[in-house]
Structure 1
Amino acid sequence: MSAYPLKAANYFMSLLAEYNLALSTVIKTCNSQGFPTAIATLLRTLVESNDITLIIYRDTAMPQIEFFMSPEGESNLDMFRSGVFLIDPYYLAAAKDNKSGFFALKELTPKGFKNSEYYKTWYRHSGLHDECGYLIPIDDGFINLSVGRTDSYPKFNKALLSFLAEIEPTISALCQRHYNNTKPATSATDDDRLPKQLQTALDNFGSTVLTDREQQVVNMLMHGHSTKSIAEILCISTETVKLHRKKSYAKLDINSQSELFYLFIDSLMSVKGYKSGDTLSSYL
C-alpha cells in the first residue's frame, strides 16, 4: 500500500472529526444566540473561506445581518441594507423567483455581470473574488448564507461546489430549525421600509416620467442586465435599447447607470412611509 492513500485517508478522517465536532456545536446552539457563529464555523471546517455572511430576510423587516466575517473586519453592509440588496442576485432569486437551494453566483447573474449596477455599486468594493451560497426558506421569509473568497484564495472549483451542494439539506434543516423557532417578538411598524415595499418601489420607479418601454429598460438595467441581454429578452435591437436608455437618462437628468441607481435610492429615502407608486412622482 502506497503512502499517498494512507495520507488521504488520514486527512479525511481528521476532516470528519472536525466536521462532527462543529456539527454537534451547531445542534447544541439551535435556538440560542450562538447559532450564527456555529453554522459559519461548520462551513469553514469544510471549505476554506475568508468571507461568510448570514442574512435573514423576514417578510416584515429589513434585512438583518446575523453573521458577518471578512478579512478586513469591516464592510459596507449598511449600504447594502439601505437598498442595494434589492438588486442582489441571491435576493432576486429568492424573493422574485422563489428559488431555494445552493447556488454559485454565476448561476444567478445575467450576462455582463461586471457591467451591472450591482457589481459597480457593491460587489467590486466588497473584496469578493468568488461567491456561492444557500437560499433557505423559513416560515416568514428566507435566509441567504453566503460563502465567499477574496483575491487571496482561488475561485471555487466544480468539486467543491458539488460538495457544498450535497450538504444543502443538512444546512437548510439546521437553519430552519433555528430561525422558525426564534421569530421576532414584535412586528414591524408603519414607518419601517419593508422589503416588499422597496421591491414595489423599484418595480414602479420612473413609471410617471418614462414611457412603458423606457421604464422597462431602466428597470432591467438596475437589475443587472446588459444592453445585449435586454435586447435579447425584449426581442429588440441593441441600438433600440441604447436609444431608450438615452431618452430615459435625459428625462431623469442623469448621465450614467450609477447615477440612475442613486437617483432611485435618493427618491425612495425622500418619501416618508412609502406604500406604493413611483417615488419620482413627488421628487422631480
Structure 2
Amino acid sequence: MAAGSGAAGASIDLWHAGLAETVSLIGEDGFPAALERALRHLVPFQMMNGFAYAPGGKAFDLDNARIVGDRTTIVDHYLAGAYILDPFYDAVRTLPPEGLLVMRRLAPDRFAETEYYRRHYQATGILDEVGFILKLRDVDAVLSLSRIGAVPAFSRRDIARLESAAPVVRALAERHWHARFTPSSGSEAAAATISHPLLSKRELEIVTLILKGHSTYSIAATLGVSPNTVKVHRRQAYAKLTISSQAELFHLFLSRR
C-alpha cells in the first residue's frame, strides 16, 4: 500500500511504522502490544486477544494479557469450557485461514438469543468481533479484535481494511507464536464436550446446536433432517433432562465449568 495524502495517508504511514516496530519485536514479550498498536492505525477497536486450540479441541490462552473488562468471563470461563459454543472455535477447525473471520457472518441465526451470548457478549459489553486464523506448529489459533461499549460495529470499510492486512498480520503472528505450544501441552487435558448418559447421539447433536444458537430450521438444514424431527428430538431431550428452556440447558452443561 502506498502512502497517500491527508488523514488516510498519515494513517497508512503510521501503520507502516507500526509494522516495522512489530517486526523488530518478533519473539519478544512486546510483540502483541506492538501489533495491537499497529492495527489501531488501520481500524479502531478496544481489545485484541487470542486463544489457541489443540488438535483434540482443548483451548489455551494465546494472548490475553491486555483484557478490557471482566477477565473471569472473557478468559477463565471461556477456557473452562464455554469456548465450545464460540463460532470462532468452529471456524478455526473447518475454514481455510485466508481472509478474516467476522462474527456476524459466522454466528448462527439465533446466536444473539443464547445464554452464551448473554453471558459472554452482553455481560462484557463486546459489541462486535473479527479474527485472524493462525496456523501454528502444533495448534491452530484465532487472534481477535473486539469493539466494546457504546461504539459502532465494524463497518464494511473496516472489514475490507483488515482483510487486506490479513496476510501480513498472519505472517507476523505465526512467526511470533509458531512454537508457543508443544504437543505435550496441547494434550494435557481433554477438550470440553457436551455429553449426558441419558441422551442419544442425535439428541446430543441437537442440544449442542441449540446451545450454539441454531434455530429449529437451521438445525434441520445442518443435520439434513426435517424441522419436525428436530422438534421431536428436542422435546425428548428436554423431557429426559427435566428442563424446559435453553437457559436451563446452558446451566446444566456449562454454568459450572
TM range (shorter): 0.7 to 0.9
> Structure 2 counterpart of 1:121, which letter?
R
Deviation at 1:173, TM superposition (A): 0.4
Matches within 5 A, 1:133-282: 133-180=131-178, 182-184=179-181, 187-188=184-185, 192-194=188-190, 197-198=191-192, 201-202=193-194, 205-206=195-196, 208-265=197-254
Specify the SS of the correspondent of 1:146. strand
> Structure 2 counterpart of 1:253, which letter?
T
Assess, with a 3 A threshold, how the Cα gap between structure 1 residues 85 and 248 changes in structure 2: closer, same or farther: same
Larger Rg: 1
Number of residue pairs aligned between Structure 1 and Structure 2: 251
Deviation at 1:168, TM superposition (A): 0.7
Give CA deviations for 1:10-37 in whole Å, capped at 9, x if unaligned.
Answer: 2133212211221111111101111111
1:15 corresponds, among 11, 26, 38, to: 11
Deviation at 1:80, TM superposition (A): 0.8
Alignment check: 8 A CA contact 1:131 1:148 kept? yes
> Structure 2 counterpart of 1:38, which letter?
A
Assess, with a 3 A threshold, how the Cα gap between structure 1 residues 144 and 168 changes in structure 2: closer, same or farther: same
Give CA deviations for 1:200-250 in whole Å, capped at 9, x if unaligned.
Answer: x33xx13x3123432331122123211221133345454443332222112
Q: After superposing the two structures, state which structure 1 stretch, 235-244 or 142-151, moved more.
A: 235-244
> Structure 2 counterpart of 1:92, which letter?
D
1:66 corresponds, among 52, 55, 63, to: 63
Q: Matches of 1:185 and 1:131 in 2, distance apart?
A: 28
Partner in structure 2 of residue 3 of structure 1: none
Q: Which structure 1 segments of 5+ residues have no match?
A: 1-7, 270-284
Alignment check: 8 A CA contact 2:92 2:133 kept? yes
Q: Which structure 2 segments of 5+ residues have no match?
A: none
Assess, with a 3 A threshold, how the Cα gap between structure 1 residues 28 and 58 changes in structure 2: closer, same or farther: farther
- Identity between Structure 1 and Structure 2 (%): 28
Specify the SS of the correspondent of 1:167. helix
Specify the SS of the correspondent of 1:63. strand
TM, length-normalised to structure 2: 0.85
Deviation at 1:65, TM superposition (A): 4.2
Specify the SS of the correspondent of 2:27. coil
Assess, with a 3 A threshold, how the Cα gap between structure 1 residues 254 and 193 changes in structure 2: closer, same or farther: farther
Specify the SS of the correspondent of 1:149. strand
> Structure 2 counterpart of 1:170, which letter?
V
Give CA deviations for 1:169-216 in whole Å, capped at 9, x if unaligned.
Answer: 100000111111x434793397x324xx32xx33xx13x312343233
Partner in structure 2 of residue 116 of structure 1: 114
Runs of 4+ in 1 over 6 A off after TM superposition: none
Specify the SS of the correspondent of 1:126. coil
Alignment check: 8 A CA contact 1:104 1:131 kept? yes
> Structure 2 counterpart of 1:106, which letter?
R
TM, length-normalised to structure 1: 0.78
Q: Matches of 2:96 and 2:247 in 1, distance apart?
A: 28
Partner in structure 2 of residue 100 of structure 1: 97
Q: Matches of 1:57 and 1:49 in 2, distance apart?
A: 24
Assess, with a 3 A threshold, how the Cα gap between structure 1 residues 44 and 233 changes in structure 2: closer, same or farther: same
Partner in structure 2 of residue 34 of structure 1: 30
> Structure 2 counterpart of 1:122, which letter?
H
Deviation at 1:72, TM superposition (A): 3.7
> Structure 2 counterpart of 1:85, which letter?
Y
